[in-house]
Amino acid sequence: MAKTKITFGGSEALLGAAFLFALTNVLIREMSEMWGDQAQVAVRFALVWLILVVFTYFKKSAKTTIPRSKRTTAITYSIVAAISILFFTLSVQATTIANTLFTSNATELFVAFLLGSFFLREKITLKKLLAILLAVIGLVLYSDSILVGSLGIIFGILGGATTALCNLLAKRLKGVDLGAIMRMQFGLGTLFMIGLTLIFSPNDIIRTVSIEGAIATVAFALILIAATRLVLYGFQHSDINIASVLLSSQLAFGALLGFFVYQEALALHEIASGLLILCAAIIGGMVQKPKAINLKNHSQ
């Protein structure tokens, strides 16, 4: 029986990841009632790694590994990804979801543009420039947030910079099995975050046990698996500059979630910013050329 193929490109994957990552900002706050900041990252990573290992064990197909030539890149990606998620965790608890996503996306776009254009020599097209310009204009409307100088803003900037580096490393891992990458990422990430927790916050691991916190922890792990797979696939099949623009659409998603869940009211300039970034994401999608892929090959 012939395998069914569908049209699925990097644009769709990255837009899906943007929504899921925006949703995790809500779960971070819910988990903070139960877990310490560094501890909750370690727990999320450990749970994801356990799910992946169990899934691989019971799957009938042969276990895949990372080629020796790609292992250094994969290890670096794993550590940087853990640091990036920690920065986001710290930021979203110290400022609004919209401000976290603004600072991170603004920094990520700038760093990604430098990496993609000057180091990877990726082609700069008119549509790409227009998409990036719209996104930057939308983000500049949030410039007052930078003047606050809060820890939330600082961690948001650091989160964006490390995310851009993660995206570059993900592109370098093109062709490597996504399941193998994720097992290494969350396995090494778990060990790294446990180490940070024991060193910097050994007395802030479990704050209070609650059913809501446990549910949020499991939900976060499942969403993280889906979002990470989408990001890895999206950046492996996309130009790094335009891919960063597509991911910046999470600012609009996050701002809406912040309003409906936490009543974080949006000012006029915040609404305008979200609309501009969504327009940038749409134009970014027009740049991409969807490829016919076999989804079975990307569900390992």
The answer to whether 28 and 92 have CB atoms below 8 angstroms apart is yes
Write the DSSP symbol of residue 118.
I
Rounded to the nearest 10 degrees, the angle between the axes of helix 97-114 and helix 71-92 is 150
Cα–Cα distance for residue pair 104/42, rounded to 1 Å? 21
The dihedral over CA atoms of 231, 73, 197, 161, expressed in degrees to the nearest 10, equals -60
In a domain, 1, yes or no: no
The answer to whether 113 and 132 have CB atoms below 8 angstroms apart is yes
In a domain, 219, yes or no: yes
Among 204, 107, 192, CA closest to 157: 107
Task: Please state, in angstroms and as integers, the Cα–Cα distance from residue 164 to each residue in 26, 134, 194, 242, 295, following that order.
Answer: 22, 19, 24, 12, 26
Q: By CB neighbour count within 10 A (0-12 exposed, 13-18 middle, 19+ buried), where does 118 fall?
A: exposed
Name 293's bridge partners: 6
Element (H, E) at 293: strand 292-293
In a domain, 65, yes or no: yes
- Name every residue whose Cβ is closer than 8 Å to that of residue 137 and which is 6 or more positions away in sequence: 276
Task: Please state, in angstroms and as integers, the Cα–Cα distance from residue 50 to each residue in 75, 190, 202, following that order.
Answer: 18, 10, 23
In a domain, 55, yes or no: yes
Intervals of the chain under pLDDT 70: 1-8, 60-63, 142-149, 241, 244, 281, 284-300
In this predicted structure, what is the pLDDT of residue 292?
A: 39
Residue-wise pLDDT tens digits, 141-197? 766 656 666 788 889 889 999 999 998 898 889 889 888 998 999 999 999 999 999
Domain count, the chain: 1
In this predicted structure, what is the pLDDT of residue 213?
A: 92
Unique residue bearing structure tokens 């920065």: 87
In a domain, 39, yes or no: yes
Cα–Cα distance for residue pair 212/31, rounded to 1 Å? 8
Tokens of 22: 């925006």
In this predicted structure, what is the pLDDT of residue 81?
A: 94
Q: Where in the sequence is the domain holding 294, given as residue range(s)?
A: 6-298
The answer to whether 187 and 193 have CB atoms below 8 angstroms apart is no
